Structure 1
Amino acid sequence: MASRNVGRRRADRKGNRRKVLDIPQGHGHGHGHGHGDHVVDTSVVNSDAIVARRVRIVVAAVLTPLIIASVVLLIVLWPGARVKVESYQTSTARGEVTALKACPDPRDKCDLATVKLSNTPEKGKAVPVQVPKVGGSPIPVKVGQEVMLAIEKGAPPDQKYQYVDHDRTKPLLILAVIFAIAVVALSRWRGFAALVALAVTAVMLVQFILPAILKGSNPLLVAVVGGAVIMIIAVFLTHGINAESSIALAGTIAALGLTVLLGWFFTGLSQLSGLAAEGASAAQGFSPHLDLAGLLVAGMVIGALGVLDDVTVTQAAAVWELSAANPAASRRELLSAGLRIGRTHVASVVNTLVLAYAGAAMPVLLVFAIQDLPILSVISTEAVAMEVVRGLVGSLGIIAAVPLTTALAAMAVADRSRDLVATPDPAP
């Protein structure tokens, strides 16, 4: 079908005239890349009076009550003082390996390292540290490397410092700096805002979600409240407080709610206890009242958040560009075109999510492969079934996010042409 490119002009807030071209009819891709004379300015959609009125209804009916409820619950569930188990607290130290030799007694199965302390009151002091051998091979510690140590109070001087692991602070910081530079270089101020949102996410995890669960609050409720607050801050901080980001946030919260319900239902239906999760037994040993099944569902919610954000923001942006290119597009046309864009996105994202969960369970899968068990027996074991439920529930949430967000966006921006002033294109 031949495309129709009808030029329209609209005055923005500064009185400037911007040219907006209709998208070709029947074409399902709405990303504007500035090819040729095609200019797609989505700011005209955000500033449109009709869109603003429709979005205000969504904000008043859905977002405002949810934001208020999230903030209130955040205050109520806030753990207050740091939650810790005194009997499990261990003093730590760091230092550089300056010498390494075999332990005097071969039966000890260790190497003897001399470590120069770098962050304790005994900074600069050289202390002996035994580095254990695992399976007959020493842990690869070399002279010049940084290591982490545990301090055993009251132990003899030659046993006071115990090897814990390599100190990976420097390489991790280098990687984080490279990541931050790459994000800011590509996305500039929006990338910087995304990094700030990432920092907020880390603070919420460390200062609210984990301590609140340890304190005894319901893990699922804590994850939902923390996830909602993270999404509210991340979406508005990264994409601005406007109509487009409000619709994306509404779609995110709706999909998040569905993910919670599916996770809770199938965790119970599959009779998952959560004990097979890595570290679950140790965590329950520290905190006997911990609800491991609820913690499992909470992990599903937190794991799906980042991908939900990606999908909903992308879908809202796609519909906004479609509307900017064709202000007269109906809800049905926008929904159809938006879903065509979303199908490709979902297909790749779902595969990524499932593979990520499979990768996390790789050691468990290797054990089953060695045992050569039937595939149905492997899937039915809790260690594997847990990952299957986690991956499929997260994927269902992502799938639902596409039509939910696209429908909300289409309802918000459809038939905007009533607010436009059509003028002929100027002569070339």
Structure 2
Amino acid sequence: MAGKHAGGHARGRDEHAPAHGHGHGHGHGPAPDVAVGRGPRIALTALLVAVAAATLVGIVHWWPDSGRVDKLQGSMAFTAQGATYVPATATKVEGRCAQVGASGSAGCGHVAAKVADGPDRGKAVTVEVPPEVSEAGLSPGDSLELLRIPGANGQPATYSYFSIERNTPLWLLGAVFAIAVLLVARLRGLMALIGLGVAAAVVGWFLLPAMLSGHPVVAVAVVAAVAIMYVVLYTTHGVSLRTSVALGGTLAGIALTALVAWYAVGDTHLTGVVDEGGGVLIAQVPGLSLQRVLVASVVIAGLGALNDVTITQASAVWELRAAAPDMGRAELVRSAMRIGRDHVASTIYTLAFAYVGTSLALLLAVQLYDRPLLDLLGTEEIAEEVVRSLTGGIGLVLAMPITTALAALMVSGPRTAYDGHGEDSWIV
């Protein structure tokens, strides 16, 4: 019995050691305790504290200029002066006209509606809508948003279609998503939702306003990405050395992604202007480089997949060490890398298909041109998506071995005497 107890110190918690349960205190599943080296633990803690301090300094230094942001926000008129948006309820929907050239005939591509608010509340109006709108499932009883333009010289106001009111179904979809996450992932799902909310706050209150304030776009994006990852990883996976190893690998992945994206966007001479929004930004925000905005978008877009790979890889090393305390460090790395290669391969597909999905309409339109697809890869629209996919993939792929090596250095070698400080301990 004594021999068995002594052998168990290599990967179990000492029955006399204090219970360091930070990660468990958040309700996450118990992770195996493995012996961790004192030196690597101190070095990793010092590194993460230094990066956190630098991130806070960056946030303070590049905090948005509220005066400039307030001046820019609302600087563009969304519609004609005096026009207002009023809610309405559809009462009759007519689809595409049967005959070519008859789009202007009464009833074709039109929606009859009743104004629900404003000075003309209760008034019945008929507005013209694009055929695809009326054929997208619009039916009587659906809520619309109409544009009301006051009449001149005593003439009645005129109405035109603006959009379908989608807030209710969107909120309902969000509620279903949150309920599904909570039912399946429970407390960990709750923590993930909290982390997602914090990430949204960082983007809305810091990242976007700081860019509009004229601060360096890529630096601001990196600071925001790092801040998001600190919050998301620790809230979702608990405060532990294992999570810290994943965070270290994620930080390396962010840095590599930003570096590769910087050179890739520059070498391909992408402008970042692919739609009307880019032209608006150039006109309204002097000094804003859309090339740098493109680099920043690559950094932010890769965070989810990067987090997925690094936390899984750190967990793989911990589980392998706990299951095989006699395994040599080199074999530990090789085993973890085999797991990581499978994960990276599937994640690369995820990234590629995600970009294809978001660009499906563009790819369909490209098929209509009288040039081969390969000849059109250099166009701004397609090249931007290719660079975004490949750059994010490079950062993700390189983060995997970095996380593996960091985790292997953190856990002690085979049969190292357990010091009572498991993976959840921050005692140095």
TM-score scaled by length of structure 2: 0.80
Q: 2:206 is matched with which residue: 208, 211, 233?
A: 208
SS at match of 1:217: coil
Shift of 1:150: 4.3
Tell me if structure 1 keeps the 8 A contact 2:89–2:114: yes
Q: Distance in 1 between matches of 2:142 and 2:57?
A: 48
SS at match of 1:419: coil
Q: 2:90 is matched with which residue: 73, 85, 97?
A: 97
Change (3 A) 1:420 1:142: same
Q: 1:58 maps to what in 2? A: 44
Q: Equivalent pairs: percent with the same residue?
A: 33
Write the letter of the residue equivalent to 2:214.
G
Shift of 1:138: 7.0
List alignment gaps of at least 5 residues for structure 1: 17-39, 422-428
Write the letter of the residue equivalent to 2:89.
E
Q: 1:187 maps to what in 2? A: 185
Q: 2:73 is matched with which residue: 59, 80, 84?
A: 84
Write the letter of the residue equivalent to 1:96.
T
Q: Distance in 1 between matches of 2:110 and 2:135?
A: 7
Matches within 5 A, 1:234-245: 234-245=232-243
Q: Distance in 2 between matches of 1:7 and 1:161?
A: 82
Q: 2:143 maps to what in 1? A: 146
Larger RCO, structures 1/2 (Cα 8 Å, 6+ apart) = 2
Tell me if structure 1 keeps the 8 A contact 2:207–2:221: yes
Tell me if structure 1 keeps the 8 A contact 2:366–2:373: no
Tell me if structure 2 keeps the 8 A contact 1:55–1:247: no
Write the letter of the residue equivalent to 1:9.
G
Q: 1:222 is matched with which residue: 220, 223, 233?
A: 220
Q: Which runs of 4+ in 1 moved over 6 A?
A: 121-124, 135-139, 153-157
Shift of 1:371: 1.3
SS at match of 1:114: strand
Change (3 A) 1:92 1:388: same
Report which stretch shifted further, 272-281 or 287-296. 272-281
Shift of 1:153: 6.7
Q: 2:33 is matched with which residue: 44, 58, 61?
A: 44
Q: 1:133 is matched with which residue: 109, 119, 130?
A: 130
Q: 1:287 maps to what in 2? A: 285
Matches within 5 A, 1:27-426: 42-45=31-34, 48=35, 50-51=36-37, 53-60=39-46, 62-81=47-66, 82=70, 83-89=72-78, 92-98=85-91, 106=105, 111-117=110-116, 125-126=122-123, 128=125, 130-134=127-131, 141-150=138-147, 152=149, 159=157, 162-276=160-274, 279-415=277-413, 417-420=415-418
Write the letter of the residue equivalent to 2:141.
G
Change (3 A) 1:158 1:169: farther
Write the letter of the residue equivalent to 2:77.
Y
Q: 2:13 maps to what in 1? A: 12
Tell me if structure 1 keeps the 8 A contact 2:310–2:403: yes
Tell me if structure 2 keeps the 8 A contact 1:51–1:416: no
List per-residue Cα deviations over 1:302-322 (Å, max 9, x = no partner).
110110000000000111111
List per-residue Cα deviations over 1:301-347 (Å, max 9, x = no partner).
11101100000000001111111112343331221111100111111
Write the letter of the residue equivalent to 2:116.
L
SS at match of 2:8: strand
Tell me if structure 2 keeps the 8 A contact 1:335–1:407: yes
SS at match of 1:189: helix
Q: Distance in 2 between matches of 1:210 and 1:148?
A: 28
Tell me if structure 2 keeps the 8 A contact 1:251–1:404: yes
List alignment gaps of at least 5 residues for structure 2: 18-28, 96-103, 420-428
Q: Distance in 1 between matches of 2:42 and 2:155?
A: 68
Q: Distance in 2 between matches of 1:123 and 1:171?
A: 26
Tell me if structure 1 keeps the 8 A contact 2:32–2:319: no
Shift of 1:55: 2.3
Q: Distance in 2 between matches of 1:126 and 1:75?
A: 53
List per-residue Cα deviations over 1:27-52 (Å, max 9, x = no partner).
xxxxxxxxxxxxx963423xx4x345
Write the letter of the residue equivalent to 2:45.
V
Q: RMSD across aligned C-alpha pairs, in angstroms?
A: 3.4
Q: Distance in 1 between matches of 2:143 and 2:155?
A: 21
SS at match of 1:148: strand
Report which stretch shifted further, 324-333 or 151-160. 151-160
List per-residue Cα deviations over 1:35-90 (Å, max 9, x = no partner).
xxxxx963423xx4x34542221120x21221111111112222253450333356
TM-score scaled by length of structure 1: 0.80
Tell me if structure 2 keeps the 8 A contact 1:100–1:142: yes
Write the letter of the residue equivalent to 2:8.
R
Q: How many positions carry a matched residue from both structures?
A: 390
Shift of 1:408: 0.3
Q: Distance in 2 between matches of 1:291 and 1:342?
A: 37
Q: 1:20 maps to what in 2? A: none
